Amino acid sequence: MEKWAPTVDPQTANAVRYYVRRFTELNGEIAVTDLTKAHLRDFADAISGLPTIVSAKLPNGKAVNDLSFNEIVLWAKKNEKDTLSDKTRDKYISFMKRLLSFAAAQDYRTGNPWADYKIPKAKQKHSTKAKDDRRPFTAEEVRQILDYVKSSNAEKYAKTTIDFWGPWIAAHHGTRLQETSQLRLCDFEVREGLFCMHITDEGEGMRAKSSSTVRWVPVHPKLLENGLRGHIESRRGEMDSNANAFNQWGRYSEVYEELQADARGRVSASYGKRFAHLRGETLKIKGEKVSFHSFRHRLQDAADNVSISDSHRRYLTGRANKDAVEGGYGDGVGMQYLFDSLKQIDPMAG
Residue 350 falls within a domain, yes or no? no
Q: Specify whether 64 is located in the same domain as 167.
A: no
| Residue-level pLDDT at 142 | 98
Q: What percent of the chain is modeled with pLDDT above 90?
A: 70
Q: Other C-beta atoms within 10 Å of 242: how many?
A: 12
Residue 256 β-bridge partners:
249
| Residue-level pLDDT at 309 | 87
Lowest mean pLDDT among 7-16, 92-101, 200-209, 280-289: 200-209
Q: Specify whether 180 is located in the same domain as 319.
A: yes
| Residue-level pLDDT at 201 | 52
Provide CB contacts within 8 A for 198, sequence distance 6+.
186, 187, 188, 189, 215, 216
Q: Specify whether 102 is located in the same domain as 46.
A: yes
Is the pLDDT assigned to residue 93 strictly greater than 70? yes
Q: Specify whether 54 is located in the same domain as 194.
A: no
Distance CA 51, CA 83 (A): 4
Q: Specify whether 108 is located in the same domain as 252.
A: no
Which CATH number characterizes residue 295's domain?
1.10.443.10
Residue 348 falls within a domain, yes or no? no
| Residue-level pLDDT at 327 | 40
Q: Specify whether 55 is located in the same domain as 115.
A: yes
How many structural domains are present in the chain?
2
Q: Specify whether 62 is located in the same domain as 167.
A: no
Distance CA 79, CA 291 (A): 20
Please give the residue range of the domain that contains residue 60: 5-127
Lowest mean pLDDT among 56-65, 127-136, 231-240: 127-136
Task: Write out pLDDT tens, residues 229-276.
Answer: 999 999 999 999 999 999 999 989 999 999 998 877 889 999 999 999
Q: Specify whether 143 is located in the same domain as 91.
A: no
Q: Specify whether 117 is located in the same domain as 246.
A: no
Please report the DSSP string for 113-157 in residue order.
TTTT---------HHHHHHHSPPPPPHHHHHHHHHHHHH--SGGG
Q: Specify whether 179 is located in the same domain as 233.
A: yes
Task: Write out pLDDT tens, residues 19-32.
Answer: 999 999 999 999 99
Is the pLDDT assigned to residue 18 strictly greater than 60? yes
Residue 329 falls within a domain, yes or no? yes
Residue 133 falls within a domain, yes or no? no
